[in-house]
């Protein structure tokens, strides 16, 4: 920089290549991250937990996510040098000690692995559901349309591995806009299907504590479905780790 090689038109104040992000692609990134496929399961989660526990859980996850997002925003720049933190781990390293940094590294890897498993499983189930639906339309609802999920998991994993090799994948603004439109689309599709089912079959029976335990619904099933619902809530609010990566593009 002293030799005058780094010009202000090409590089930021921290010596890195000048950022080219805009509010348009940042908004698209945020919408895509926030409105993930996990939102499609929230209605089912409420049915399992009930209005009381379901409402408390979604408010709790929202408050935790909001607080975490505000913390990440405050950690965008190093408190001493003022340099930008380009990743979540950069922010942790510049604001915490070595021990906390190692703990957060393990925690982040665990969360990212869980998110990856969640998206892979959800995608495979969705692809299998589409194929099963086509089978039912072709052969009738009485047909044995069993579709395994494993082949679709492998297909999705291979596609992800190939796409991860694309350099500067985050700079593909049109792709982010398409993803944001798709996020809104499947959200509205889910709402439309719910309204259609209510009109056709009426509102399902539920209680403040969710589906009641009975002859056809054991306590063990209640426990597993409750835990599954909590996992789906966590999956729906798993986007805060990428907020710094989005902010740093502006």
Contact criterion met (CB below 8 Å) for 226 and 99? no
Name the pTM for this structure.
0.68
Residue 238 to residues 68, 69, 122, 201, 228: CA-CA distances in angstroms?
11, 11, 14, 33, 15
Contacts of 236 (CB under 8 A, 6+ apart): 36, 38, 39, 41, 42, 61
Tell me the DSSP string of 17-76. BPP---HHHHHHHHHHHHS-GGGGGHHHHHHHHHHHHHHHHHHHHHHHHHHHHHHHHHTS
Considering the chain, what percentage of its residues have pLDDT values greater than 90? 0
Better-scored residue on pLDDT, 45 or 17: 45
What pLDDT is stored for residue 175 in this prediction? 75
State yes or no: pLDDT of 132 exceeds 70: yes
- CA angle (110 as vertex; 52, 63 as ends), nearest 5: 35
- CA angle (111 as vertex; 110, 117 as ends), nearest 5: 90
pLDDT digits (tens, 9 = 90+) for 196-213: 888 887 776 667 777 777
Q: What number is the average pLDDT over the span 184-206?
A: 79
Residue 51: CA atoms inside 13 Å, Cβ hemisphere, count? 4
Q: Can you say how many angstroms the Cα of residue 48 is from the centroid of all Cα atoms in its chain?
A: 21
Q: What number is the average pLDDT over the span 83-91?
A: 75
Domain ranges in the chain are 38-67+98-237
């Amino acid at each position: 920089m002293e030799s005058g090689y780094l010009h202000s038109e090409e590089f930021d104040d921290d010596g890195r290549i000048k950022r080219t992000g805009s509010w348009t692609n940042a908004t698209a990134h945020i919408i895509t991250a926030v409105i993930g496929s996990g939102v499609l399961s929230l209605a089912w989660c409420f049915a399992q937990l009930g209005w009381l526990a379901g409402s408390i859980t979604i408010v709790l996850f929202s408050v935790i996510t909001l607080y975490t997002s505000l913390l990440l925003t405050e950690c965008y720049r190093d408190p001493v040098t003022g340099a930008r933190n380009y990743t979540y781990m950069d922010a942790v390293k510049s604001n915490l000690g070595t021990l906390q940094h190692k703990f957060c590294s393990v925690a982040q890897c665990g969360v990212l692995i869980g998110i990856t498993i969640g998206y892979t499983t959800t995608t495979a189930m969705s692809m299998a559901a589409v194929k099963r639906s086509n089978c039912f339309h072709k052969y009738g609802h009485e047909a044995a349309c069993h579709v395994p999920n494993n082949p679709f998991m492998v297909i999705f994993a291979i596609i992800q591995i190939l796409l991860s090799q694309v350099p500067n994948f985050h700079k593909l603004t049109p792709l982010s806009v398409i993803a944001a439109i798709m996020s809104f689309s499947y959200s509205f599709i889910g709402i439309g299907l719910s309204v259609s089912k209510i009109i056709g079959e009426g509102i399902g029976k539920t209680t403040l504590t969710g589906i009641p335990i009975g002859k056809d619904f054991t306590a063990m099933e209640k426990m597993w479905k409750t835990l599954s619902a909590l996992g789906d809530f966590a999956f729906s609010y798993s986007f805060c780790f990428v907020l710094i990566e989005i902010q740093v593009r502006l």
